[in-house]
Every structure is written in C-alpha cells, then in structure tokens.
C-alpha cells in the first residue's frame, strides 16, 4: 500500500518541483538568446494591447486621459496624485520614483500624439516641450555634470541596475525587473525621438537660414561687383609691375571695355545684359593674373589711397559746381514763365482804358478789411498766393490784395488778374517805379544798389571767387526785395497789413491774424531757432563791435514770408529810420551780406511777437524732410530756398500743394505751354 502511494507522491513531487524550473528555464532562454529582436518584441507587446478595437498604452503606472492634459505652470510634474505612485513607491526610492513619473508622462504624451487620441494638440505640444527639456538633461551628462549632480548619480545607478537585472535570475512577475526594463526601454525611445527631433530641427533651421540669406541678397550685388572689379583693374593699370607686362595690359584693357559695356547705365542686377555674368567671370580671371604679377599689398593700398584722395577732391569740385548751377537755375526764368508776361502784356494793351481798371477800388483804403501786401514779379506765383488765400477765406469779400511789381511786368500782372479776378475779393496792382517818394536820397539801400561796386559784385565773371554763392543773387539788386521796410509809406491809411512772400501757399483762413493782440510789438513772426544755424550769429558778423555790443549771437532768428504788421506801432516807434540807420552803417557789407532777413533781425530787435508755429511752416524749397504732419496743420507753407515749386528742380512730393491752385487749362498758360510738373 505504501509502495503504491509512494510512486504517485514522487510523481507529483517531480511535477511540482521540476516543471516550474523547466518552464522558467525556457523563458530565460528565449529572453537571452535574441536580445536585439525578441526582447524588442517583448517590450512592444507590453507597451500596447488591443481592447475594444483601440490601441491603448500599457505602462506600469496608470495613464491620464487626454482631456486632463493642460499647460504646466512652471513644474509639469507637480500635480500627479499620490495614489498613482503607490505601487512604485514601495520598491523605488524618492529619486527613482520622480524619474519614473517623468518618463511615464513623457511616454504617455508621445503615444497620445502618435495615435491621435489628444483633442488639444496645442496643449500636448506645449507639455511635450517641457518634458523634452527634462529628458534632454537626463541624456546629456556633459551638461548635467555641472548643473545637476543628482541626475548624474541617478544615471549611474540606473546603468548599474540594468546590468544587474540582466544577470539576475528572478521571477518574471518581479515588479523591480518589469519596472526597470520598462523604464529603460522608455528612456531609449525618448532618446531616439529627441535625437531625430534635433536633427530635423537643425536641418529646418539651416534651411530657414539659407532661405533668409537668399532673400536678403541685395538687388544690385552683381552691379557692385562689376564696379569693384573696374576699380581693381584701374589699380593694376597704374602699377609699374603690371605695366611692364604688355600682354596683361592689353587683356586688362579689353576686359575693362567689356565690363563697361555690360554695366552700361544699370543700377540693379535686372538691368544687366545676359552676358554680364560671363564678363564678370572673365574679368575675375584677368584680375587673378594681375594678383600673381603684383602681390605687394602695401603698393596696392598706397595706390587705392591716392585714388580715394583724388575722388574726394573731384567730389568737392562737383559739389561746388552743382551748388552754383542750382542757384543759377533757381534764378533763371523758365521759358514758359518768360512767354507768359509777353503774351499778357500784348493783350493788356489791346484793352481800352475803361477795361484796364479793377472793381471794388473803394476797399483799398478801408482799415476794417483784411489787407495783404505782396511784392512780386512772378505772375504765376502771385496768382497761387491769391487763389489759395481766397479759396480758404471764410468771407472773401473782406480780403484785399495789394500787389506791387516792376515796370516790366506791370501790364502783364494787371492783365492776369483782370482776366482771372478772384471771386468777391479785391485786387490792386501797382508799379514800384510810380513811388516817387522812393529814391536814392531817401533810401540808403537804393543808393547802395545803384552803386558800381554792388553791380560788379553780382555780375563779375568769376563765379567761384566768392564762397558765399547764395548771397550773390541778382534779385537783391531790385528795390522790390526791400519794399517790406516801407510798408507805412506804401499804405499810409491802413492800420494793419499781412505781408506775404510770393513762394507761399495758404491752407487755412488767415482772418484770425488781424484780431491778434501783438502786445505793443511791431511785427508778428514765427521763430526758427529750433536749430543752431537759425540764430543771429548765422546771419550777422559778430566780429564787428557794432554787432557784438548790441545783439545776442544765440538769439532766435525768425522768418520773413508771412508776417502780421501793426503799422500804427511802426509809425510810433519810427522803424523806417531804424532801418535806414543800420543800412548806412553797413558800408561794404561789413555787418551782414546783402539780403532782407539780416537787416530785419536788426531792425525789429526786441520788437517781435512770437506766433504759434502752425501759422507758418518753412523749408519746402530746400528740405525734403519737412514733416507731413506739420504741413497738414500749417496755415501757410513756405517754399523758401532755391527749389521753387514752379521749377523742374523742385522737390517732387511738395509740388502738388502749389500746383493745385493753378488752372493749367487757362488760355494764356496753354499758349505758353506751361504744364503741370510731375508730382509725387
């Protein structure tokens, strides 16, 4: 009986003892025989499983749902619940638990992104950026050696643990082995993703840099290169070492001709001919030969310096010539403006005496109206001043224009305003030669203007003998330029008058100027001392004691061109005599050069009332940088300078402010072929 029981017991004992050993030995055999393939398959089998048709992640730790993923606030791992880590905390220390938590979340986010389970791609991407920063630190020991000793030691512990686990023979259900293997493979996958991401991002960055570099290539790169080659070629032509080689010199001259022909008048690469690239390459090869012949850098540098000095000297000469020609052009009457007064004068003398008078002559001496003083020999310019003023006037019937011109343009000026009378406003034209009281015995400036020395100063042949070319202006020989100092004599029955230059345009109603209280001052002006060159020392000779003892060199200058003048105060302070006294002292131009602003600064010293700058904006005749905002808010814009709006040399973007007040369809303008200049 006992023998019968012994055999089944031994059999069961063998089964229960050896069967697990055999089974476990087969499992270990399959695990160690093919580490590169079977182990990978094992990890892949563990990482995912199919349930209900969906591929879901399987990790040691529970997964968060895609809807719970939100952008981290500084630390992406601070809000994981303690229950999630309960199993891992039993077997791992705090450091291992923290890393496991980080890597598990990274694996979860990666898998959700791959399977499309996340509904908010922006939040996942933002979370992934923070996780990548952490995992980058784990996989870059050269950075963490200095910044995070804990991470380095943790990495060493992990590598030791991996080797130990690979050698130990433990149960397949051992949580330590499962967790370590999962963690190791997860880290490996993360490292692979990061490495490929860095490569892709690096390639993308390089591609963007190349595109950016391609976009910023200047449109005249080849033009500049051709010009540089020509400069280098001229250097080699002048060097003694290369001049002794006739074959090279012939070739170089041929290349220069070809390059000049290919360059032509091109200012950008698109203007170049198709053969420009070939010429450029051929020239470069020839220059390389020259470099072999003459490789002394010191000699080449010396020659380049000499060429630079010569170019600077030529530039100085050209600038001086340009300045003189600009002044000459500004004072030269265009053909159309020369034709216009001739045509108008012919028509004026065809009129009978009754047709040669202006209406509303009773308004000329009415002190209650708004009176303008305009002294000009330019018919078209005077027309713009009147038209622009009337078009912006609230009540044009109150505005009276007193125009004074010379005998040459008197008939033409009257004919123009007879044919183009401004609506409701009053116009009168006078001839300066009819002012019998204005003679050399009364006016010292008129005596000076008639002197032979003054005529020689303006009309001597050598234009470059005086550096102050702009002061050598023939208009200063005309008494009309100085009529502004005789306003009380011209308008004996008026109380106030607004003086206007003929190169201004009115943009707003000017009626408010007559109601201004000048507080006992004679003249209302807009000061121009915002910049240093608009102060008294710019216009007056402070080396002369008469000037230095009476005036402040840093005092603000101001602008003639739009000035409200109290004629009663003028008469009371006897301003005309003040002007005459200073003109008598300015013998041989010792105090100031000829002009009207310097004597105006002296005559009205401490007698000016400062107007708001918006009344008068200057600079449109020389400064292209006048603010558009200042122009729009200005009551009067002034084209002071040489670039007058009726000339072709005017500043294009400022032309329309002036030309819109000219009727180019007018018969006389069409007959003289006066057309609108191109605007901005």
Between 49 and 105, the more confident residue is 105
What is the model's pLDDT at position 663?
A: 92
pLDDT band at 366 (very low <50, low <70, confident <90, very high): very high
Burial of 360 (C-beta count, 10 Å sphere; 0-12/13-18/19+): middle
Average the pLDDT over 467-480 and give the result.
66
| Percent of the chain that is helix, strand, coil (3-state, to 5) | 60, 10, 30
- Give the strand order in the sheet containing 496-500: 426-431, 399-405, 370-375, 496-500, 562-566, 523-525, 608-610
Question: What distance in Å separates the CA atoms of residue 87 and residue 182, rounded to the nearest whole number?
Answer: 15
CB atoms within 10 A of CB 528: 18
Distances (CA, A) of 490 to 168, 352, 440, 487: 121, 28, 17, 5
CA separation for the pair 422, 420 (Å, rounded): 6
- Cα-based torsion angle of the residue sequence 157, 158, 164, 167 in order, rounded to the nearest 10 degrees: -160
pLDDT band at 474 (very low <50, low <70, confident <90, very high): low
Which of 472-476, 611-615, 646-650 has the lowest average pLDDT? Answer: 472-476
| SS3 call for 399 | strand
Q: Residue 342: which of 389, 391, 279, 412 has the closest Cα?
A: 412
Model confidence band, residue 214 (pLDDT cutoffs 50, 70, 90): low
Q: How far apart are CA 40 and CA 28, in angstroms?
A: 15
Tell me what the mean pLDDT of segment 32-60 comes to: 43
Beta bridge partners of 610: 525
Interatomic CA distance for residues 177 and 356, integer angstroms: 120
pLDDT band at 501 (very low <50, low <70, confident <90, very high): very high
Integer Rg of the chain from CA: 47
φ/ψ region of 360 (left if φ > 0, alpha if ψ in -120 to 50, else beta) reads: left
Tell me the mean pLDDT in the region 336-341.
92
Residue 3, pLDDT above cutoff 80: no
Report the pLDDT value the prediction gives residue 41, as an integer from 0 to 100: 42
CB 612 within 8 A of CB 568: no
Q: What angle do CA 137, 140, 146 make, to 5 degrees?
A: 80
Residue range 618-637: mean pLDDT, rounded? 93
| pLDDT for residue 27 is more than 70 | no
**Do the beta carbons of residue 541 and residue 603 sit within 8 Å?**
no
How far are the Cα atoms of 209, 297, 419, 462, 648 from residue 51, in angstroms, in the given order? 47, 80, 100, 105, 86
**Lowest-pLDDT range, 460-469, 556-565, 668-677?**
460-469
The answer to whether 425 and 451 are in contact (CB under 8 A) is no
- From the list 163, 268, 255, 191, the residue with the least C-alpha distance to 222 is 268
pLDDT confidence band for 45 (50 / 70 / 90): very low
- Going by pLDDT thresholds of 50, 70 and 90, the confidence category of residue 80 is very low
Q: Give the model's pLDDT for residue 457.
A: 67
Question: Maximum CA pair distance of the chain?
Answer: 169
pLDDT given for residue 290 in this prediction: 86
What's the chain's average pLDDT? Answer: 76
> Three-state SS across 69-130?
CCCCCCCCCCCCCCCCCHHHHHHCCHHHHHHHHHHHHHHHHHHHHHHCCCCCHHHHHHHHHH
Q: Give pTM, 2 decimals.
A: 0.60
- What is the residue-wise DSSP string for 160-195? HHHHHHHH----TT-HHHHHHHHHHHHHHHHHHHHH
CB atoms within 10 A of CB 379: 21
Q: Are 604 and 582 in contact (CB under 8 A)?
A: no
Look at residue 635 in the predicted model and tell me its pLDDT.
Answer: 96
d(CA 134, CA 96): 14
- pLDDT, tens digit, 9 for 90 and up, residues 127-150: 444 434 444 444 444 444 444 444
CB 635 within 8 A of CB 507: yes
Q: What is d(CA 135, CA 120) in angstroms, rounded to the nearest whole number? A: 22
521: enclosing H helix or E strand: none
**How many residues make up the chain in this entry?**
680
Q: How confident is the model at residue 2 (pLDDT cuts 50, 70, 90)?
A: low
What CA–CA distance (Å, rounded) separates 72 from 127? 7
Would you list the DSSP string of 11-34?
HHHHHHHHHHHHHHHHHHHHHHH-
Q: What is the pLDDT of residues 353-365, one digit of tens each?
A: 989 999 999 999 9
Query: Region 433-444: what's the mean pLDDT?
Result: 91
- 103, with CB counted inside 10 A (0-12, 13-18, 19+), is buried
* pLDDT of the residue at 456: 72
Per-residue confidence (pLDDT) for residue 472, from 0 to 100: 62
Confidence class for position 458, pLDDT limits 50, 70, 90: low
Torsion of CA 616, 621, 623, 625, to 10 degrees: 70
- pLDDT value at position 306? 85
Band of the pLDDT at 679, cuts 50, 70, 90?
very low
Give the whole-angstrom CA distance, residue 395 versus residue 392.
9
Number of other residues whose CB lies within 10 A of the CB of residue 361: 10
Q: How far apart are CA 485 and CA 600, in angstroms?
A: 8
CA-CA distance, 464 to 467, in Å (whole number)?
7
- Return the pLDDT at 459: 63
SS3 sequence of 254-300: HHHHHHHHHHCCCCCHHHCCCCHHHHHHHHHHHHHHHHHHCCCHHHH
């Amino acid at each position: 009986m006992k023998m019968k029981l012994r055999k089944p017991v031994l059999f069961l004992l063998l089964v229960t003892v050896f069967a697990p050993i055999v089974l476990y030995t087969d499992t270990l055999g399959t695990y160690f025989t093919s580490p590169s393939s079977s182990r990978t398959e094992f990890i892949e089998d563990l990482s995912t499983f199919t349930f209900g048709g969906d591929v879901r992640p399987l990790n040691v730790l529970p997964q968060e749902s895609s809807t719970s993923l939100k952008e981290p606030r500084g630390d992406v791992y601070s809000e994981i619940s303690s229950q999630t880590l309960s199993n891992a905390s039993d077997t791992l220390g705090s450091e291992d638990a923290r890393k496991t938590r980080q890597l598990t979340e990274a694996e979860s986010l990666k898998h959700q992104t791959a399977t499309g389970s996340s509904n908010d791609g922006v939040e996942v991407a933002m979370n992934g950026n923070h996780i990548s920063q952490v995992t980058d630190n784990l996989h870059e020991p050269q950075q963490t050696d200095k910044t995070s000793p804990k991470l380095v030691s943790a990495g060493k512990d992990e590598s030791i643990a991996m080797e130990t686990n690979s050698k130990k023979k433990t149960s397949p259900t051992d949580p330590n082995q499962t967790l370590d293997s999962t963690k190791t493979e997860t880290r490996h996958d993360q490292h692979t993703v990061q490495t490929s991401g860095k490569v892709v991002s690096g390639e993308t960055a390089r591609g963007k840099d190349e595109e950016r570099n391609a976009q910023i290539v200047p449109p005249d790169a080849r033009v500049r290169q051709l010009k540089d080659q020509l400069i280098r070629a001229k250097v080699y032509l002048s060097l003694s070492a290369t001049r002794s080689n006739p074959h090279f010199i012939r070739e170089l001259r041929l290349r220069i001709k070809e390059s000049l022909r290919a360059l032509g008048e091109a200012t950008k690469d698109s203007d170049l001919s198709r053969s420009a690239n070939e010429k450029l390459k051929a020239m470069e090869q020839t220059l390389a030969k020259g470099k072999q012949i003459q490789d002394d850098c010191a000699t080449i540098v010396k020659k380049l310096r000499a060429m630079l000095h010569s170019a600077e000297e030529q530039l100085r000469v050209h600038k001086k010539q340009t300045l003189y020609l600009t002044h000459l052009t500004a004072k030269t009457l265009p053909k159309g403006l020369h034709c216009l007064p001739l045509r108008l004068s012919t028509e004026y003398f065809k009129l009978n005496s009754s047709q040669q008078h202006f209406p509303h002559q009773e308004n000329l001496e009415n002190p209650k109206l708004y009176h303008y003083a305009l002294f000009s020999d330019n018919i078209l310019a005077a027309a713009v001043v009147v038209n622009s003023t009337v078009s912006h006037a609230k009540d044009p019937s109150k505005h009276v224009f007193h125009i004074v011109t010379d005998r040459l343009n008197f008939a033409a000026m009257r004919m123009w305003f007879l044919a183009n009378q401004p609506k409701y406003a009053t116009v009168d034209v006078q001839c300066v030669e009819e002012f019998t009281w204005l003679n050399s015995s009364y006016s010292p400036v008129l005596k000076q203007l008639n002197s032979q020395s003054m005529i020689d100063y303006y009309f001597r042949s050598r234009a470059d003998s005086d550096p102050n070319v702009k002061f050598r202006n023939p208009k200063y020989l005309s008494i009309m330029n100085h009529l502004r100092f005789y306003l009380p004599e011209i308008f004996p029955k008026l109380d106030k008058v607004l003086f206007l230059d003929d190169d201004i345009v009115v943009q707003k109603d000017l009626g408010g100027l007559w109601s201004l209280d000048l507080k006992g001052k004679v003249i209302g002006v807009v000061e121009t001392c915002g910049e240093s060159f608009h102060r008294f020392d710019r216009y007056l000779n402070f080396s002369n004691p008469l000037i230095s003892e009476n005036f402040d060199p840093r005092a603000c200058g101001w602008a003639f061109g739009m000035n409200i003048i109290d004629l009663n105060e003028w008469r009371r302070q006897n301003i005309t005599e003040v002007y005459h006294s200073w003109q008598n002292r300015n013998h041989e131009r010792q105090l100031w050069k000829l002009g009207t602003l310097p004597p105006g600064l002296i005559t009205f010293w401490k007698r000016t009332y400062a107007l708001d700058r918006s009344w008068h904006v200057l600079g449109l005749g020389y400064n292209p940088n006048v603010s558009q905002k200042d122009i729009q808010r200005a009551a009067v814009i002034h084209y002071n300078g040489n670039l007058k709006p009726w000339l072709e040399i005017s500043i294009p973007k400022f032309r329309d402010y002036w030309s819109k007040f000219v009727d180019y369809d007018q018969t006389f303008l069409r007959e003289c072929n006066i057309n609108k200049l191109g605007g901005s």
